[in-house]
A and B are shown apart, each in its own frame.
Chain A
Amino acid sequence: MTEIPLHYYLLLSAILFSIGVAGVLLRRNAIIVFMSIELMLNSVNLTLVAFSAFMGNSTGQVLVFFVMAVAAAEAAVGLAIVIALFRNKQTVNIDEMNILKW
């Protein structure tokens, strides 16, 4: 079985990351934006794991655990914010959430 070369992983990771970025920038539903952020995080995780395997260094895999832990926490906080916003505005459309400016 031939090994899958490293740049395949990296290319897939880049594509996933770009999809995530596009999702964050273009989608208007807060939940989808949130999911896109998760997609970006996980594409980075993929890169880390790929490098770790190819270089025989476990540091990258350790870091991925950290990222996952943070992402889980962030998911909890983020969803809580989305729910709080929904309660206030009866919508999760982020175009409606522009009160950051005066």
Chain B
Amino acid sequence: MVNGGMVNLTGYIVLLPLIGFLVNGIFGKKINSEKISGVIGSGVVGISFVLAGLIFYEMTGAPVEARSHVIPLFHWIAAGSFSVDAAYQVDQLSILMTLIITGVGFLIHVYSIGYMHGDSGFWRFFAYLNLFIFMMLNLVLASNFLLMFLGWEGVGLCSFLLIGFWHDRTFDTGGYAAGTATTADAAKKAFVVNRIGDFGFLVAMFMIFTFFGSLNFSEVFLRAPAMFQKGDTAVFWITLLLFLGATGKSAQIPLFVWLPDAMAGPTPVSALIHAATMVTAGVYMVARCSILYALAPATMTIVAVAGLATAVLAATIGLVQNDIKKVLAYSTVSQLGYMFLGLGVGGFAAGIFHVMTHAFFKALLFLGAGSVIHAMHEEQNIQNMGGLKSKLPVTAKTFTIAAFAIAGIPPLSGFFSKDEILWKAFSQGSVVYWVVGWITAGLTAFYMFRLVNLTFEGEERYPSSVHPHESPKLMTIPLIVLAVLSVGGGFLGIPESLGGGNAIEHWLQPVFERAEVYSAPVLEGSRSTEYLLMALSVAVAIAGIYYARTIYLRRPEKAAAIASSYRGIYKLLWNKYFVDEVYDASVVRPTMRISDKLLWKGVDAGLIDGIVNGSARLVSWLSSHLRKIQTGVAQSYALVFVIGILVILGILVLR
């Protein structure tokens, strides 16, 4: 153990959720008490949060250079020159992520006690959630790529388990192929798509080991600038493959298709895993490897462009979706795109800042949506809602706060983080990045307030047999806490131009300083530009909110009119750009066909089984003939003796 202090408790932060998982997983069914399972499940995460808070507090008191620790636990793998320790790296970045994960995680656990009330798999749900927290903490606290990969795969597994939690339910896939699929299908899709990304992560890890002979972050990142020139092919491929991993986990183009379907899982899962924490793993990973990315400007451009394209694509799809969770899912994809845009232009701290604020307001939005779905008895179509404001006052208020936050209205948190990214995109990227990001901000405001207005405002469009009611306190208190965070979270990152200290950027600066050497310099003397851009982004957000209000509240008939006058575009968006269909036709079905005709019926059934069964058949064919020699008639055996003797004699005589 290194220098004493709270930081030595890091192991317990990670261990507690594992204990919760084991207790609930093994004894949960026997305990058979929602209260005990819920308290254990939430309690362990709560304690982890407190421990993380203590470590954070200790770190704030320490001098900057003493804030980064590596806590070794045990030798994990040692094989020849390959050696990996199970060790946790506690520094400014990982402690921030730990606080987000355990903090938001704790609130969502508490909420789940109310939301999952009466579910037959209550204990199983909490076991999975705890396992998820354990894996996610491994991911962010790992001090080497392999342990990170363990967490990476682990969260993928938990995501799979939780999407398919109600494995017998069906859901609407939406769009053109509006068939229903089972949640197990959605889980499978998420898993398979993530495997493609994981493949990239793995290959990148192999390459890193080949070059550095080590997988430790400290060693790899320290030696990277000496190992590679800026723009080397090797570092380009390493970072690109890592980014492929990130696109899988963080739902970016081209691998974003699993996330909307993942909404088939219980809503707290969508909030925790598919909005606040797991999907930001890719952002975290890129930020963690910032020095490698800084050495590969080509990858940085790809990251920025992919992020931007995802942001705008998902935002446009979100405009027309009618499922409350689908809108939020596309919004998540879009916001993750923003984060990658921030990373791609070198604004690593800005990206992480948005991870944090997004965790607050998106978790709040999802939990609010869960509260609505709960109240409406599993109804998710916003066209069948409306006017819920009076019935669900707490949910409506907190949801609206979150919507304002995500739309980027100052001084809520989303404004600061999104604006930081847009400013980085402008000052360190290009004007095009900013313009597209700016338009997306307007779209975001529009679809969020379309959602708010259709759900909570206007006339009641649900059948009179439904009597919506506000959720219990267990569910509303987390909403209120998250609402406070959504409002206040941004104050950690008030830019200097607005008189703030940009505390979060300063906090993270030691982690990124070596990477930022390679970034484009910030424009000088541009404060007035910064104010102008801020004003423009606030303006576009207000415009988006205003149009959403006009169209969906004052003149509801206008929505249909717009949809019919832009029929082509509407259809394209409604069908989500046919991405699923294109993937289905270009990847899924060919793969299935190759697997079916070639790999299964050809190679497996034909070749492998052919060799195995063929050799058996050959032997049995040969013996079926050979066994005729064995007549059982002693005289024919005697005849063979005689022939044999004659042959031997013949040889002896004629020789």
Contacts and interface: CB of A to CB of B under 8 A. Distances in A.
B635 interface: yes
A25 B634 contact: no
Q: What size tier do the contact residues of chain A reach?
A: 10 to 19
Contact of A25 (B627, B630, B642): B642
A98 interface: yes
A74 interface: no
A4 interface: no
A8 B383 CA distance: 122
Interface in B592-639: 627, 630-635, 638-639
Contacts of B630: 101
Contacts of B639: 25
B642 A21 contact: yes
A9 B295 CA distance: 107
B636 to A, nearest CB: 9
Contacts, number: 26
B330 to A, nearest CB: 73
A53 interface: no
A13 to B, nearest CB: 15
Contact of A24 (B631, B632, B633, B638): B638
B632 A99 contact: yes
Contacts of B638: 24-25
Nearest to A98: B632
Interface in A24-54: 24-26, 33
Q: Size class of B's contact patch?
A: 10 to 19
Contact of B632 (A21, A25, A33, A101): A101
Interface in A86-102: 94-95, 97-101
B631 A101 contact: yes
A79 to B, nearest CB: 16
A101 B630 CA distance: 7
Contacts of B633: 94-95, 97-98, 100
B635 A94 contact: yes
Nearest to B633: A98
Nearest to B630: A101
Contacts of A33: 635
A40 B630 CA distance: 25
A50 B623 CA distance: 48
A94 B635 CA distance: 8
A52 to B, nearest CB: 23
B635 A98 contact: no
A101 B631 CA distance: 6
Interface in B205-261: none
A25 B635 contact: yes
A31 B639 CA distance: 18
A33 to B, nearest CB: 8
Nearest to A21: B642
Contacts of A94: 633-635
A6 B635 CA distance: 32
B634 A100 contact: yes
B630 to A, nearest CB: 5
Interface in A53-102: 94-95, 97-101
A40 to B, nearest CB: 11
Contacts of B634: 94, 97, 100
A98 B636 CA distance: 11
Contacts of B635: 24-26, 33, 94
B47 to A, nearest CB: 73
A95 B632 CA distance: 10
A65 B630 CA distance: 36
A26 B638 CA distance: 10
A97 B642 CA distance: 21
Interface in A3-25: 21, 24-25
Contacts of B627: 101
Contacts of A99: 632
Nearest to A33: B635
Contacts of A24: 635, 638
Nearest to B627: A101
A24 B642 CA distance: 11
A39 to B, nearest CB: 14
A95 B633 CA distance: 7
Nearest to A30: B634
Nearest to A95: B633
A26 B631 CA distance: 16
Nearest to A37: B638
A33 B638 CA distance: 11
B642 A100 contact: no
Contacts of B642: 21, 25
Contacts of A98: 631-633
10 contacts: A25-B638, A25-B639, A25-B642, A26-B635, A94-B634, A94-B635, A95-B633, A97-B634, A98-B633, A101-B632
Given A94-B633, A95-B633, A100-B633, 6 more contacts: A24-B638, A25-B635, A25-B642, A94-B635, A98-B632, A101-B632
Interface of B: 627, 630-635, 638-639, 642
